[in-house]
Amino acid sequence: MKAQILINKHFTIGEIDRRIYGSFIEHLGRAVYNGIYEPGHTTADDMGFRKDVIDLIKKLNVPIVRYPGGNFVSGYNWEDGIGDRSKRPQRMELAWGTTETNQIGIDEFHQWAKRADTEVMMAVNLGTRGPEEARNCLEYCNSTTDTYWANLRRKNGFEQPFGIKVWCLGNEMDGDWQMGGKTPDEYGRIAFETAKLMKWTDPSIELVACGSSNNRMLTFVDWEYKVLDHTYEYIDYLSLHQYFGNAADDSQDFLCCSVDMDNFIKTIAAVCDAVKAKKRSDKTVNLSFDEWNVWFHSNGAKFEPWSIAPPQLEDIYNFEDALVVGCILTTLQNNCDRVKMACLAQLVNVIAPIMTENGGKAWAQTIFWPFMYASVYGNGKTMRSIVECDKFSTEKHKDVPYVEASVVYNEKENEVVLYAVNRSLSEDVELSFVAEGFEGYKLVEHVELYNDDLKAVNEKDNERVAPANVAVTESETVTLKKHSWNMLRYKAQ
């Protein structure tokens, strides 16, 4: 099979915001306790954070991490996680049916973020709480004033403010599984009032309002329109959440997931622009895709109710999951004009690229690799690319191109980076890349992720799915193996 990708230096989609390579840590399962935090571990630092996990996170080059939830945040009292640890209460955690010890809170998490070379995206509780508690949290974290909450932060040992830039106004508030779930008008009103108080407290912050929990919700689109109608002038982003699975074990259809994601993004961008037109506003509300991943392997897993940090949602990812994640990342890059932030949910143990063993090793799951190469090398401008290749159809998806691709021009590094997934389960693709205006650029690296077994997984002592370097030649074409993910780097000579 043959394919061609064409770009022209004058035609771009937009500048990539580094925050599209964000991730997510929720107080859920072993994400925090026995994930990022395990005081007795041989690699634990002076605060109990696992340095082997931090090293893997730094390798992923994650610029921002959403915290502390997720469903968890809708019943969370942020004050439980500050000050003297010996005085912090243990609570029944209703979202996930566990016991929360509160040994990690915002005091500790902002310090972990600095050690992991990342920033915090903080979520506030608009389920069981409201505008005043959210405003107080912001004052505690960011204010330099001689006032109660800022002074309490100082008393707790933090003279300098945390300087958290991005704040999420609740989580999935349209869901009946959510503590304090709301109608679109109920949520729109409380989000507006919360946003108002928070912007008055710190005008420099950016605010994310909740969009639909997924595009299958009965209120989908109507929710977005009504929420935006209430909040448009005070918020900066609208959230999107979407997870993908292959419960039917149809690999060819599973590899089409990014088509659905692309449609989702374009639909919500259109709703944002419709409200902009209605309000005759000069402001553009952009998108924060702050939960996305493959999630289905761990559905139905059992644990002891009200236990502390039990294994929950620990998907073991296989090779085809990595291909889907690669397709999703190209979709985010190709929509960088509207998607300014995104969070792979989650980061450690819970539906995550990094797994740990209590008291033992940390290792990279299959999905680690396409995310890492996108985050490290996918910086600059996304080029508007034309992909010419054969197409296929499944029962659910029609006329899907076999090659999914994105092209990023990094002017600072004088390089063009091409990401490509060959969706064919049986045929290699001979790919030609035409880059008009980039004369003199030569292929210097071809990284390939491939395994003949789509169900291959990585284990702590057996990494079956790992990147490999393909020999670079002077040929005008490159081979994309059947069902493979690829990164091709072209440098100015």
Question: Do residues 189 and 183 make contact, with C-beta atoms less than 8 angstroms apart?
Answer: no
Structure-token match 């209703």, residue found = 94
Phi, psi angles (nearest 5°) of residue 12: -125, 160
Any long-range contacts for 139-145 (C-beta under 8 Å, 24+ apart)? Answer: 139/201, 140/78, 140/82, 140/106, 141/106, 141/110, 142/201, 142/202, 142/205, 143/201, 143/202
Question: Do residues 131 and 139 make contact, with C-beta atoms less than 8 angstroms apart?
Answer: no
Question: Do residues 219 and 173 make contact, with C-beta atoms less than 8 angstroms apart?
Answer: no
CA-based nearest residue to 255, from 297, 336, 318 = 318
- Rounded CA Rg of the chain: 23
Question: Do residues 316 and 365 make contact, with C-beta atoms less than 8 angstroms apart?
Answer: yes
CA-based nearest residue to 62, from 122, 117, 121, 115 = 117
Distances in whole angstroms, Cα of residue 29 to Cα of each of 133, 295, 304, 350: 26, 15, 11, 7
Instruction: Copy the structure tokens of residue 42.
Output: 């041989």
Structure-token match 């709301």, residue found = 182
Phi, psi angles (nearest 5°) of residue 386: -105, 120
**AA letter at 384:** R
Question: Do residues 337 and 286 make contact, with C-beta atoms less than 8 angstroms apart?
Answer: no
Measured distance CA(388)–CA(420) in Å, rounded? 13
- Cite the active site residues: 172, 291
Question: Do residues 131 and 78 make contact, with C-beta atoms less than 8 angstroms apart?
Answer: no
Three-state SS sequence of 421-482: EECCCCCCEEEEEEEECCCCEEEEEEEEECCCCCCCEEECCEECCCCEEECCCCCCEEEECC
